[in-house]
Amino acid sequence: MFEQLDVLPADPILGLMALHQQDPNPNKVDLGVGVYRDEQGRTPILASVKAAQQRHHEAEATKAYIGPAGTEGFVSATQTLLFGSEHAAVRDGRVVTVQTPGGCGALRVAAELIGRCNDAATIWVSDPTWANHVPLLGDAGITIREYPYYDRNTNSIRFDEMMATLERAEAGDLVLLHGCCHNPCGADLTPEQWQAVATLAVKRGLTPFIDIAYQGFARGLDEDADGIRVCADTVPELFVASSCSKNFGLYRERVGSVTLVASDTQQASAARSQLISVIRGIYSMPPSHGGAIVDIILNDVELRRQWTDELGAMRDRINELRRQLVESFNRKGAEGRFDFIARQQGMFSFLGIAPEQVQKIREASSIYMLSSSRINIAGLSRHNLDRVTGAVMSVL
């Protein structure tokens, strides 16, 4: 059987991880892997998470399955995070949420449901988008097409071209949108642009599919959900894939959810039953631990306050690093070339240098980034920032 298999090339990010781990240079810098890091280069366990874990450990009385949809506390708290406490769609019973193994699980479960709804479905994704969007959605049999999004020459959104392309999309198509902190480019839609996209979706019969993996990392929890709420106010149907990996620091716990908004309660009920069926056929039940931590934090006033403070500190650190990175480049003679970085949001930005320059920097300075020049801003610190900008300037 296995003699029929070929060895596949390593995933670019996983391959970069391996190269970094093997590098003996004590001053090596990892700007590739997309996890939050503090000033010491660690991915910390939040104090609110530690407190919730202790509370859960003391209260947990069983290891029985939690059911394919996840726990009610997690589900209701997630809906509040995404839509706010008084959104009409939630109040009217048109919103369905199920817990999944991370945001990846959410994307794949949604894709499988989309295939049941329309076996000829097409999802439009941004150029560029997160690389794993394509296999997660495409391997479920969904056709993938691209719409223009990021202009690497001006470091801005190609919004007019994006809208012109989506004007040609067919009724029944879906449009994958990054809720905030676009990965990999860091350039986000404005509230006005979100409204324009939602209005176009109604006009063309398109369904928005919003992937929000970094809620709270751009402007704030409510502000970062603007796009979701605008779409839920405007379109009859909506998909949302969300993750707790970044904003709760629960990477290895794999906590996420898929949410849909239906036109009415009858359709919502039918869609929920189909989601449960999809889940049963893939992994049967979601893991419990991470979702229980999120449930405890979001439903406890003091722990929620502590968590939002910690999330705010992570957000502020990333925004300050963006400002410092631009200042460091300009001190070294960049003359505003990288000023766009301070205007972008979240953990990622492109530096706009060629793959050969990226490789030269890695070989000369042990600074690791993707060949596209996408960097993880959170991998910077006061200890390495000037060395990074110096290495980049040396190849320009």
Q: Which residues are catalytic?
A: 130, 211, 246
In b/e form, how buried is each residue of 351-368, taking b as 16+ CB within 10 angstroms?
bbbeeebbeebbeebbbb
Other beta carbons less than 10 A from residue 25's beta carbon? 10
* Cβ burial, residue 323 (10 Å; 0-12/13-18/19+): exposed
CA 265 to chain centre: 28
Run of H or E residues at 145 = strand 143-148
Beta bridge partners of 242: 212, 257
224's tokens: 């970062």
Phi, psi of 123 (to 5 degrees): -115, 125
Q: Are 102 and 82 in contact (CB under 8 A)?
A: no
Instruction: State how far the Cα of 319 lies from the Cα of 94, in Å rounded to an integer.
Output: 36
One-letter-per-residue 3-state SS of 259-303: EEECCCHHHHHHHHHHHHHHHHHHCCCCCCHHHHHHHHHHCCHHH
Rounded to 10 deg, the angle between the 265-282 and 102-117 helix axes is 120
